[in-house]
Amino acid sequence: MKNKPMNKKSNQREANLPTKKTQQQNLNKINNGVFVFTRSLTVGELAKELNVGAGDIIKKLFLQKKLVTINQYLDDETIGEICLEFGYDFKKEEVINEEDFEKAQIEDKEEDLTERPPVVTVMGHVDHGKTTLIDAIRNSNLAANEVGGISQEIGAYQKVVNGKKITFIDTPGHEAFSAMRSRGASVTDIVVLVVAADDGVMPQTIEAIDHAKAASVPIIVAINKIDVPGANPEKVLNELMQHDVIAEKFGGDVLTCEISAKKKLGINDLLEDILLQAEMLQLRANSKRYAIGTVLEAELDKGEGPKATLLVQNGTLFNNDYVVVGTTYGKIRRMTNEFKQVIKEVGPGTPCSVIGLSEVPLAGDRFMAFPTEKQAKDIAEKRKLKKVQEERAASSGVSSLDDLYSKISEGQLAQINIVLKTDSTGSAEAVKGALEKLNNEQVKVNVIRSAAGAITESDILLASASDAIIYGFNVRPSAMIRKKAEEEKVEIRLHRIIYALTEEMEDAIKGKMKKEEVEVVTGQAEVRNVFKISKVGEIAGCMVTDGVIKINAKCRVLRDGAIVYEGQIDSLKRFKDDAKEVKQGYECGLKVSNYNDIHDNDIIECYEMKEKDNA
């Protein structure tokens, strides 16, 4: 009896799925001498469709200096060339089905549409008070937990105002994260543009305006910090007019509100303006259909596995639903709201955090719920296969920054392939965008893989096959992975600051990499037990797994490949005796300076800086 309501909801939602194409419509076919195809084909598949020998196709491509195998996928242009070679014209038809649910146009019945919460993105220049505004609305203190007081991930939160919900998205304000702000604007209904009254319009303010205009999203200007010395709201409004953001008081259509997020002044007026704007937009959705929406952020959680923050944009997402997200899928095992409270269903315009996906998805991926696990798995596997084919198609590049400099010196066009691994998908997108901006007439930077998580053997093999360099941003390779990279002759470059990473690449492109300080890992130890001693703190009982651990050495604490702390080895013991160093294969006890949050299975990595001559 308990399952009947859920079955009823399932039946209602299945009626709202995209219409399936018939089997005949999905088949490739020849009509009146025209070969009609709907997707990429392997040499073998194309040979079968054209009723010719696979060897004949391989031979014709070989004469064009193209080496292919029977199982290799061909692009649309090559399929067309082969068709013409064998006397057929060709045409590609776009078939929209569940695999392309991003493109599917699903018409909702008028009677199924109900009012939904507006999705509001908070944008603006770094340090103008975006997260402090969210804190004022939520009565929280998020800003205190951010690196340097700057948001580097997207968060989503809800607020009930006059009985109505408003969903807020906080996007990073640092200029390196413009890609993340762009994603924020693409899923939002209203942009709240935060501008400091004492600072005025700044570069990221202009970028935020451009993103909002590109997404055709209305803007509400929140002039913050009106309580600080030098505040000049009128100057802000005049500067905004230069970018076609004209306030209502000047005859425009942009709502403006003067606030102090720190002192919580004007917050209620801003919330009422948001509800007024939402009422004008007449935002509605169909809660009876299967959920569809966007991934705002994703990460690999040590205890819970892949975790993603989703924004449901239409439909209702239920616990135990099967979802496809980009190239991954899974069954929703648990959903929580921004207060980490477990929830059973999520309606349109509402964010949630979910666990149950098979892999970490990419931020910005679209997701959709499906009736069965088989359907979700089949779609995800087809998408993953397509992605692997695209990665394999990446052309060869240079295997190190030294090679890059050599090619440029010789006047050659150099392509540098990069495998990028970071601590979160938001960082991956930001770093990828920053690297690709470095393209010029001599050098093309090609990021062939960009993902969150530790550097793995799969990354090494891809880099080896593609002559790529691996960049790690806030993640570290294990000793085993470093040795694998040495065997495959793959260069791994590690950074914690985005601008240090991009400047290093710029220097390589300009041929300025003469001398630099490089980091040399001297040893790694795995934490087996943690002992808490009063007046001393936490002592880590470790096994040295690689190299040597030395007293007073610089060190990092790694957890699942990500850096959680940097310091130095404060004390080092073998049994009860002090030790200057402990070599691989031996146990030791050690204390990391000013750090008392070591966990079992953490890795203590020691390193030193040495000067490298690149001349």
Taking residues 66-86, what's their average pLDDT? 87
Taking residues 363-388, what's their average pLDDT? 82
Which pLDDT does position 156 carry in this prediction? 78
Count Cβ neighbours within 10 Å for each residue of 313-344 and write b for 16 or more, e otherwise: bbbbbbbebbbbbbbbbbebebbebbeeeebe
Which pLDDT does position 98 carry in this prediction? 57
Q: Comparing C-alpha atoms, which of 40, 19, 14 is closest to residue 28? A: 40
In degrees and rounded to multiples of 5, residue 106 shows phi and psi of -105, 115
Q: Report the share of the chain in percent with pLDDT over 70.
A: 80
Q: Given a cut of 70, is residue 8 above it in pLDDT?
A: no
Taking residues 8-32, what's their average pLDDT? 50
| The two three-digit tokens of residue 438, written as one number | 């470095």
pTM: 0.53
250-287 pLDDT, tens per residue?
A: 999 999 999 998 899 999 999 999 999 999 999 999 99
Q: Given a cut of 60, is residue 391 above it in pLDDT?
A: no
Say how far apart CA 274 and CA 448 lie, in whole Å.
41
Max mean pLDDT range (106-110, 161-165, 423-427, 456-460): 161-165
User: Which of 11-20, 198-207, 365-374, 449-458 has the least mean pLDDT?
Assistant: 11-20
Taking residues 374-392, what's their average pLDDT? 76
Asked if residues 420 and 435 have their Cβ atoms less than 8 Å apart, the reply is yes
CA pseudo-torsion sign 396, 466, 366, 170: negative
Taking residues 566-588, what's their average pLDDT? 91
Burial (CB count <10 Å: 0-12, 13-18, 19+), residue 457:
middle
Label residue 469 by pLDDT band (50, 70, 90): confident
Beta bridge partners of 613: 515
pLDDT greater at residue 246 or residue 134: 246
Domains of the chain, start order: 23-96 (no CATH), 114-284 (3.40.50.300), 286-390 (2.40.30.10), 394-513 (3.40.50.10050), 519-613 (2.40.30.10)
Asked if residues 469 and 400 have their Cβ atoms less than 8 Å apart, the reply is yes
Q: Which residue has tokens 């890059």?
A: 404
Which pLDDT does position 145 carry in this prediction? 44
Say how far apart CA 525 and CA 558 lie, in whole Å.
10
Average pLDDT score, the chain: 80
User: Which of 314-318, 360-364, 478-482, 575-579 has the least mean pLDDT?
Assistant: 360-364
Which pLDDT does position 445 carry in this prediction? 82
Q: Given a cut of 90, is residue 441 above it in pLDDT?
A: no
Which pLDDT does position 204 carry in this prediction? 80
Beta bridge partners of 369: 323
Which pLDDT does position 412 carry in this prediction? 55
Element (H, E) at 366: strand 366-370
Taking residues 326-336, what's their average pLDDT? 90
84-109 pLDDT, tens per residue?
A: 999 888 887 654 455 566 655 567 78
Q: Given a cut of 50, is residue 175 above it in pLDDT?
A: no
pLDDT greater at residue 187 or residue 548: 548
pLDDT greater at residue 444 or residue 249: 249
Q: Comparing C-alpha atoms, which of 205, 215, 149, 143 is closest to residue 184? A: 215
Q: Which residue has tokens 């550097």?
A: 455
In SS3 terms, 453-510 reads as CCCCHHHHHHHHHHCEEEEEECECCCHHHHHHHHHCCCCEEEECCHHHHHHHHHHHHH
Which pLDDT does position 282 carry in this prediction? 92
Query: What stretches of 515-615 adopt beta strand conformation (E)?
Result: 515-533, 537-550, 554-559, 562-574, 577-578, 581-583, 587-592, 603-613
Taking residues 207-227, what's their average pLDDT? 86
Q: Given a cut of 50, is residue 446 above it in pLDDT?
A: yes
Asked if residues 323 and 143 have their Cβ atoms less than 8 Å apart, the reply is no
Label residue 407 by pLDDT band (50, 70, 90): low
Element (H, E) at 255: strand 255-258
Taking residues 478-484, what's their average pLDDT? 85
Residues in the chain: 615
Taking residues 33-49, what's their average pLDDT? 85
Q: Given a cut of 50, is residue 2 above it in pLDDT?
A: no
487-545 pLDDT, tens per residue?
A: 888 889 888 888 888 888 877 766 554 455 678 889 999 999 998 888 788 899 999 99
- Give the three-state DSSP class for 429: helix
584-609 pLDDT, tens per residue?
A: 999 999 999 989 889 999 999 999 88
Which pLDDT does position 378 carry in this prediction? 84
Which pLDDT does position 232 carry in this prediction? 93
In degrees and rounded to multiples of 5, residue 332 shows phi and psi of -65, 110
Beta bridge partners of 471: 420, 493
Report helix angle 479-487 to 457-466, nearest 10.
20
Which pLDDT does position 152 carry in this prediction? 35
133-156 pLDDT, tens per residue?
A: 888 887 754 444 443 333 334 467
Q: Which residue has tokens 């990028």?
A: 420
Query: Looking at residue 290, what DSSP letter applies?
Result: B
Which pLDDT does position 140 carry in this prediction? 54
Which pLDDT does position 561 carry in this prediction? 81
